[in-house]
């Protein structure tokens, strides 16, 4: 069964009919040619497909496209103007925060979300004082990024990359 949806992905508006079963991830990758969000587990467990959906990091593999008519999506590919790097992307390069790179677009979008959430004072499971200041310590980054798996185990460099981009010392 089809339904018409309109979406904006990385600044480009798309309007097209979709099968109600289509996820936002499959719509982007298979229909719109947007391959920056990667399909890892397709069950919300690995974080490889993480994008900014209406401004927050979310998982398009668990979102039905038909339920997100009118959504604004930013993928890792759309974080910065063509030819430029977003500070999180630069920090991943500076810290050598990847090996094979498959999880990297999801890691980067998740990191952008983490830095925004910290700037709004959102605590995490690793925050000792829930109503106090949040700092991007190693434990805070590790906890907040726990939804992004890296089979190459580049975590040891991902954590400092997120700290650098987030302005931690």
Partner 1 sequence: MKPFAYARPADVAEAVRDVAAEPTAVFLAGGTNLVDHLKLGVARPDLVVDVRTLTSREVTDLPDGGLRLGAASTNSEVAADRRVLERYPVLAQALLAGATGQLRNTATTGGNPLQRTRCVYFGDVTTPCNKREPGSGCSAVGGYTRYHAVLGTTAALPDPTAAETCIATHPSDMAVALAALDAQVQVLGPTGERTIPFTELHRLPGDDPSKDTTLDHGELITAIDLPPLLAGTRSAYRKVRDRASYAFALVSVAAVVSGTDVRIALGGVAHKPWRATRAEELLRGAELTGHAVRTAMDAELAAAQPQPGEGGGNGFKIPLVNRTVVATLRELTPEASA
Q: Which residues bind partner 1 (CB under 8 A)?
A: 1, 3, 19-21, 23, 42-44, 47, 50, 56-59, 62-64, 66-67, 110, 113-114, 117, 120-125, 127, 130-131, 142-147
CA distance 41 to 57: 17
User: Would you say 16 or 93 has its CB closer to partner 1?
Assistant: 16
User: Would you say 4 or 96 has its CB closer to partner 1?
Assistant: 4
User: Would you say 62 or 80 has its CB closer to partner 1?
Assistant: 62
Assign 3-state DSSP to the chain and report helix, strand, coil percentages, each to 5. Answer: 35, 15, 50
CA distance 107 to 15: 28
Nearest distance, CB of residue 81 and partner 1, angstroms = 25
Nearest distance, CB of residue 56 and partner 1, angstroms = 4
Residue 102: name the closest of 156, 40, 53, 159 by CA: 40
Strands 2-9 and 72-74: parallel
């Amino acid at each position: 069964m089809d339904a018409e949806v309109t979406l904006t992905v990385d600044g480009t508006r798309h309007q097209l009919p979709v099968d109600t079963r289509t996820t936002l991830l499959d719509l982007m990758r298979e229909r719109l040619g947007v391959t920056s969000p990667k399909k890892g587990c397709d069950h919300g467990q690995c974080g490889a497909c993480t994008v900014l959906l209406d401004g927050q990091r979310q998982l398009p593999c668990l979102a039905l496209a038909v339920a997100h008519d009118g959504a604004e999506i930013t993928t890792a590919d759309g974080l910065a103007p063509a030819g430029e790097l977003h500070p999180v992307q630069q920090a991943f390069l500076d810290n050598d925060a990847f090996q094979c790179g498959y999880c990297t677009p999801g890691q980067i979008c998740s990191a952008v979300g983490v830095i925004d959430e910290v700037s709004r004072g959102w605590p995490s499971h690793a925050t000792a004082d829930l109503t106090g200041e949040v700092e991007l310590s190693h434990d805070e980054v590790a906890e907040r990024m726990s939804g992004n798996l890296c089979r190459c185990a580049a975590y040891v460099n991902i954590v400092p990359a997120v700290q650098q981009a987030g302005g931690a010392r």
